[in-house]
Structure 1
Amino acid sequence: MQLYNKLSAQERAQLLDDAGEDRLTLSFYQYAKIGNPELFRNHLFVAWDQLEVLGRIYVANEGINAQLSVPATRFNEFKNFFDGIFFLEGVRLNVAIEHDTKSFLKLKVKVRDKIVADGLNDETFDVTQKGVHVDAQKFNDLISDPNTVLVDMRNHYESEIGHFKGAVTPDVDTFRDSLDIIEEDLKEHKEDKNLVMYCTGGIRCEKASAYYKHKGFKNVFQLEGGIIEYARQVENLQLENKFIGKNFVFDHRRAEKITDDVIAKCHQCGEACDTHVNCDNEACHLLFIQCTSCAEKMDNCCSQECKEVNALSYEEQKALRKGKHNSNKIFKKGRSEVLKFKI
C-alpha cells in the first residue's frame, strides 16, 4: 500500500502534460477533534492518490487544512469521498478563481501539531467558539460602518500585493506574530467596535475570531470563505468589490488577480509590479517581487551574489553548499537587506 508520493515534481509535470486534462484547484479547512491524525492521514493519502489528487494537506488533532488539485472528470468521485467523512460533510470547498493544471505537482499529506501554527499554549482557549461568519454583502456593509475596525490576518508579503481598502495590514511574518500585536493595538475597543477580519480562505480568521472572543472582544466577525469566496460572490451577485490587487495563494500560481490594480512594486528597482518569484539560486530561494526587466538583468536572482553563484555549474554550486545549513533566506518571504524597495 503506497502511503507517500514517489514521483518527482518534474515527472509529475510531464504526466500532467501528457494527460492534457483540466484540473480544479480547491481548498478547504475544518476544525474538528481528530483522535488519531496519523491513521486519518494514511486513509486520505490512499484514497486521494487513487483519485489522482495532488496538493498539500495538513492534519492535526484540531482538524484539517487542505489545498488541492483534482482532475475535473473525477470531481464527483472526490466529492462523494469527501462527504463520506462525517465531520467534512457539507464543508465549503473554495474553488480557485483561476485554475492551473500544475498548481500542485505532488500529493503531500502531513501530520502537524496544529493546522494553523499559533504559538498558543492555553488549554482554556476553545477554537470552536468562533466569531460570526458573514457573506460578501454583509461584509461590505460592516466595513462601511465607521464603528468597524477591519484587520487583515495574513502576512506582510500577502497584503503587500492585495488587500481590502482601509484594512489594518500588520507587518508580520507569521500568523502567530499578529495575534498579540492586534490585541494590543485594539485593546481599548473590545466592547465598542466591530472587529472584522479576513484572510485567504478563512482558516486563520476562524482561529483568530475564537481567540479574540476568548480575550474579551464582544463583536467579532470574519469573512466567510475569505478573499477567495468574496471574489466569487462579488462577481456572481454584482456587488461592489472593495478588494484591490491580487490574492496571494500557496501553490505554484502564487496569486490570483482580483482587480487590475497593481499596488506593490518591484523590490529591486521600485517600478510597479506584483509578481512574486523565488530566487533562482537554490541556496537562497528567497521569495520576493521582481519585474520582467529586473528578472532579465539579474538572471532571475535577488542579488549580484546569487547571480554569480547561479552562473556556476551544478557541481560547483553543490560543492559550495556542502556542509552548510540552508540559508535563512530560503524560509524568508520578501525580507532581505539586498532588496532596496521592500516596503
Structure 2
Amino acid sequence: MAKQGDSEQIPKIKKRSLHNIYGKEILKKRLESETFPRTTLSFYRYVILESVEELRDTLYLEWDSLGLLGRIYIAREGINAQISLPSHNLGLFRENLNSRNEFKNIPLKIAVEDDGKSFLKLDLKVRKKIVADGLDDDVFDVTNVGNHLNAEEFNRHLESGDSIVVDVRNHYESEIGHFENAILPQSDTFREELRILLELLNGKEDQKILMYCTGGIRCEKASAWLRHHGYKDVNQLHGGIISYAHEVSQKGLESKFKGKNFVFDGRLQETISSEVIASCHQCGSTSDRHVNCANPGCHILFIQCESCSEKYEGCCTEECRNVLHLPEEKQKEIRKGHLNENRFFTKSRIRPKISDLYKTQKPYETI
C-alpha cells in the first residue's frame, strides 16, 4: 500500500490473490488497527468497456495496492462503485482513473459523513448491468437522459410548485429521508420502482418531472425510461443527494431534503438535515436508526431505537433474541435448510409490524 510521501506513481503490481481471503473478524481488526484516515466516496459512469473480465482483474490488483475497500460492479455498460481508501492515496487514485480514457475525469462524490469504517474488504464483481433494472436496453435510447440540475436549480423548481418530484429509491431509503412533497414509490427494488413510476405518473406526460436518487446513477436510467414513454420535461438532480448536500453547504442554500440519506455500506446512513422523520419499527418512537437484526439467521433490515436495541439486544423479535443466546453450534443447526434461512424479508415493505412478529410467526423448526 502506498503511504503519504511516496513517489506519485502507482505502486508496482505484485502477484497475489484477486479476491479477499480473510474472514470478517480479521478484516475488522485490520481496519481498526489503521493509523491513517480514510475517505469514503462513490462514482459511476455508463461507458462501453472492453474485455471486462480482464479489466476486472487488472483493476483489482491496482486498487488493492492503493488500499481500496468497497463494492464495485463493472459490466459491458460501465462501472458503479462505492469505496473507501486511505485519504493520502486519493490523488494516486485519481491518477489511476484518469490513466484510462473510459474513466478519465469521472466525478467522485465524497461522502457527507465518514467514520472511515464504511467497508471491510475490496469486492469487485463483473455483472451484466451495473444497476439491476430488468430493462432491455436495446428497445430504447439509454443516452437520452433527463436535464441535469444542480442544487440551486433543483431548489428553484421545488419552490415554484410547478413540478412533480419523484424519489427514485426504494422504500427503506426514503423512509428515513426525502425531499419535501416528493412522491415516494413503495418499491423494494429499482426494477420494481421503474414499473411503479409509470403507474404513478400516468397521464402526466406533459408536466415537469424532477427526479432524484442517492448519487445519480438510478436517475440516469429512469429518466431515459420516462422519455422513452413520452414524458417531455424530465429533469434529474445532478450527483444525487450526496452532491446536493455538499453544494447546499458550500453555497449556504436552504436544504429541501429532510432527514438522513440511506447509503449501502457499513454506515447505513448519513445526516443531511437534523429532522428525524421515521419511527422505530418496534415501539413507534421517533427514530431513524437503521440496523440489521443481530441474529445471523434473520438479519432483517429495520429501524430500531436505542431503547429497543437494549431491550431486544439488537434483535427484531424476542424469538431472534432467544436464538442469539443458544450455543453457536445450535444456531448453525437452526440456520441450515431453506425453511429457516432468510426467514424474514430483509428489506421488503410487505411485512407485519415487527413488534408483533413473534406473536404470529412459527418458531424455528429445530428450536
Global fold match (TM > 0.5): yes
Does the CA-based 8 Å contact 1:37-1:111 persist in structure 2? yes
Q: Which residue of 1 aligns with 2:362?
A: none
The more displaced of 144-153 and 117-126 is 117-126
Q: Which residue of 1 aligns with 2:306?
A: 292
The more displaced of 181-190 and 275-284 is 181-190
| Aligned-pair CA distance for 1:334 | 5.9
Q: Which residue of 2 aligns with 1:164?
A: 179
Distance in 2, Cα, partners of 1:152 & 1:160 = 11
The more displaced of 249-258 and 32-41 is 32-41
The count of residues paired between Structure 1 and Structure 2 equals 341
Distance in 1, Cα, partners of 2:72 & 2:117 = 16
- Find the partner of 2:347 among 315, 324, 332: 332
Q: Which residue of 2 aligns with 1:173?
A: 188
The more displaced of 330-339 and 320-329 is 330-339
1:14-29 counterparts in 2 under 5 A?
Answer: 14-29=29-44
Q: Which residue of 2 aligns with 1:77?
A: 92
Give 3-state SS (helix, strand or coil) of 1:16's partner.
Answer: helix
Q: Deviations over 1:274-312 (max 9, x none)?
A: 000000110100000001111111111101111111110
Q: Which residue of 2 aligns with 1:135?
A: 150
Q: Which residue of 1 aligns with 2:73?
A: 58
Distance in 2, Cα, partners of 1:260 & 1:341 = 30
Structure 2 stretches of 5 or more lacking a match? 1-14, 358-367
Does the CA-based 8 Å contact 2:313-2:321 persist in structure 1? yes
1:176-215 counterparts in 2 under 5 A?
Answer: 176-191=191-206, 193-215=207-229
| Aligned-pair CA distance for 1:102 | 1.3
Distance in 1, Cα, partners of 2:326 & 2:349 = 25
Q: Which amino acid aligns with 1:151?
A: V
The more displaced of 318-327 and 266-275 is 318-327
Distance in 1, Cα, partners of 2:108 & 2:343 = 34
Q: Which amino acid aligns with 1:80?
A: E
Q: Which residue of 2 aligns with 1:86?
A: 101
Q: Which amino acid aligns with 2:161?
A: P
Q: Which amino acid aligns with 2:179?
A: F
Does the CA-based 8 Å contact 2:188-2:349 persist in structure 1? no
| Aligned-pair CA distance for 1:333 | 4.7
Give 3-state SS (helix, strand or coil) of 1:329's partner.
Answer: coil
| Aligned-pair CA distance for 1:329 | 2.5
| Aligned-pair CA distance for 1:99 | 1.1
Distance in 2, Cα, partners of 1:154 & 1:40 = 30
Give 3-state SS (helix, strand or coil) of 1:188's partner.
Answer: coil
Does the CA-based 8 Å contact 1:288-1:333 persist in structure 2? no
Q: Deviations over 1:77-123 (max 9, x none)?
A: 11100111212111210000111221100000011111111111251
Q: Which residue of 2 aligns with 1:222?
A: 236
Q: Does 1:252 align with 2:272?
A: no
**Alignment root-mean-square deviation, CA:** 1.6
| Aligned-pair CA distance for 1:143 | 1.7
Q: Which TM-score applies when normalising by structure 1?
A: 0.96
| Aligned-pair CA distance for 1:256 | 0.4
- Find the partner of 1:44 among 36, 59, 77: 59
Structure 1 stretches of 5 or more lacking a match? none
Distance in 2, Cα, partners of 1:80 & 1:240 = 35
Does the CA-based 8 Å contact 2:167-2:178 persist in structure 1? yes
Does the CA-based 8 Å contact 1:269-1:341 persist in structure 2? no
1:283-322 counterparts in 2 under 5 A?
Answer: 283-322=297-336
Distance in 1, Cα, partners of 2:40 & 2:251 = 22
Q: Which TM-score applies when normalising by structure 2?
A: 0.89
Q: Does 1:274 align with 2:295?
A: no
Q: Which of the two has higher C-alpha Rg?
A: 2
Q: Deviations over 1:152-193 (max 9, x none)?
A: 0000000000000010001110111111221122121212x1
Give 3-state SS (helix, strand or coil) of 2:135's partner.
Answer: coil
Does the CA-based 8 Å contact 2:157-2:163 persist in structure 1? yes
- Find the partner of 1:263 among 277, 295, 300: 277
The more displaced of 323-332 and 308-317 is 323-332
Quote the sequence identity (%).
Answer: 48
Q: Which residue of 2 aligns with 1:239?
A: 253
